[in-house]
Amino acid sequence: MESFDLIVIGGGPGGYLAAERAGHAGLKTMVVEKREFGGVCLNEGCVPSKTFLNSAKVADYANHAANYGVKVEGRAVVDQKFVVERKNSVVKMLVSGVKAALKKNKVVMKSATAFIEGKEQDGYVVRAGEEKFLAKRLIIATGSMPVIPPIEGLKEGVESGFVLTNKEILDLTELPKELVVIGGGVIGLELTSYFSSVGVKVTVVEMLDKIAGPTEKEISSILQKTLEKKGVVFDLGCKVTGIDKDGVVFERNGKVEKVKADKILLSIGRRAVTKDIGLENIGVNLERGAIVTDDKMQTNVANVYAVGDVNGKVMLAHTAYREAEVAVNNILGKKDIMRYNAIPSVIYTNPEVGAVGETEESAKQKGIDVKCVSIPMTYSGRYVAENTDLVGVCKLVINKKTNTLIGAHILGSYAGEFIVAVSAMIDLEVDIENIKKLVFPHPTVCEIVREAIFQA
Ligand code: NAI
């Protein structure tokens, strides 16, 4: 049996980066992937959805060009087949980049299904396809998959192609007339933003009384109104109970209602992939279906780590990247721990949301004494110059006791790009008085943070 210092199971962002870093550090490393290297993020999630959303943004601009003194004849029409082809070529390019980086770092890439058979004296036995290997350490990075609950007709709908997940919907070469989105979370909203911009009638059925889950209420409510202006219908406080031949059945205040659909998007959350990989053969602890890890990304089993969605902590590709580095650093004997308090999140709708840290509500729930400030994005010159629908806001949450930022919630152009600056301020616990001394480029949209700090 060939032996490796490290075998990584799963080649998504968590897995491929862990393998890359480990290979770079000189560990004999293999990464096993059963589908495509790059995982969900690169092949059917983050990246492909961004190519879609950029086409929608171009269409939005074209359809509002007159607001900027540019004449465009008629309405912009999206060529969905072209959008899908472009998406495929973007994915292809980035996946080959991932493979090149792995190769450069001397990582063995194995296209197979990995299964942990057990432990021997010299390490863990991993079956990959027909072969068996020995690993001194393991990093489990098997990711997540869409939750498909036992809703009547759902399984049949998925099988027939009437109900799609984020994967299949990104291969639709023909636009549906009426799309019903089940779940008004991140995936639901990003795809709602796309399909409403390209002329599809979209209805979102969401169980909670607000969209965008834990997002700051002020922001999610403006985002909802903006999408409503584009014709999106939100059925909030409505629990989906069934899928029938031509639509979605749901309950509103105990009464059964129905909305018709040509296609349905199911986006009600994702769950960790922990089955059929042999975790039970080495006794890895799970909690609510996800692998339990400590702040070094270690599981309860010696030399076995878990990074990315599979540990169920924060299901974001960039969290997986950092967790991968923490795991590899600990394998290499370097001190490193994972912190989760300043992980930015972005919702790539148009307008986009950039957020990090505590909301006013979550801070209060934790008993933190906070001061909040919320200002319109019109405080930024560049924002006003570049937008005509001036709905954006920037809300900051400040810990009164420490006089440091603990949260920022921004709706507006480029928010997803500059939120990392606020993450750094939170992570490094920079005092508000010191933030005031930082020089921001002018005119930029990110100056909104400086304005809000002074308003506070
Ligand atoms: P989500 O957890 O964000 O939202 C699911 C929504 O479905 C919730 O609002 C929930 O209340 C609702 N729901 C659940 N059951 C329902 C029912 N029977 N009827 C009506 N509504 C129901 O999950 P989502 O959007 O599927 O995303 C999955 C994961 O992917 C998330 O962890 C997210 O962080 C990640 N992701 C991140 C992106 C980003 O960072 N830009 C983009 C896309 C996904």
Ligand 1 atom showing the smallest separation from residue 211 Cα: 9
pLDDT for 420 = 98
In short, whether 269's Cβ falls inside 6 Å of ligand 1 is yes
Closest by Cα among 311, 328, 296 to 138: 328
Residue 442 annotated in active site: yes
Q: Is 244 left (phi over 0), alpha (psi -120 to 50) or beta?
A: beta
Q: From the CA of 207, how far away is ligand 1's center (Å)? A: 11
Strands 178-182 and 263-266: parallel
Percentage of residues of the chain with pLDDT beyond 90: 100
Atom 41 (ligand 1) nearest CA: 347
Would the pTM of this model clear 0.95, i.e. be above it?
yes
pLDDT for 371 = 98
Buried b (16+ CB within 10 A) or exposed e, 106-145: ebbbbeeebbbeebeeebbbbbbeeeebbbbbbbbbbbbe
Q: Is the dihedral of CA 283, 286, 289, 293 positive or negative?
A: negative
Distance CA 52, CA 406 (A): 33
* Paired residues of 374 in beta bridges: 395
Distance CA 425, CA 292 (A): 29
pLDDT for 51 = 98
Sites in the chain below the pLDDT cut of 50: none
pLDDT for 369 = 98
Q: From the CA of 282, how far away is ligand 1's center (Å)? A: 32
Which CB contacts under 8 angstroms, 24+ apart, belong to 424-429?
Answer: 424/342, 426/341, 426/342, 426/356, 426/357, 427/339, 427/341, 427/342, 429/402, 429/404
In short, whether 242's Cβ falls inside 6 Å of ligand 1 is no
Buried b (16+ CB within 10 A) or exposed e, 290-328: bbbbeebbbbebebbbbbbbbbbbbbbbbbbbbbbbbbb
Q: What is the pLDDT of residues 78-133, one digit of tens each?
A: 999 999 999 999 999 999 999 999 999 999 999 999 999 999 999 999 999 999 99
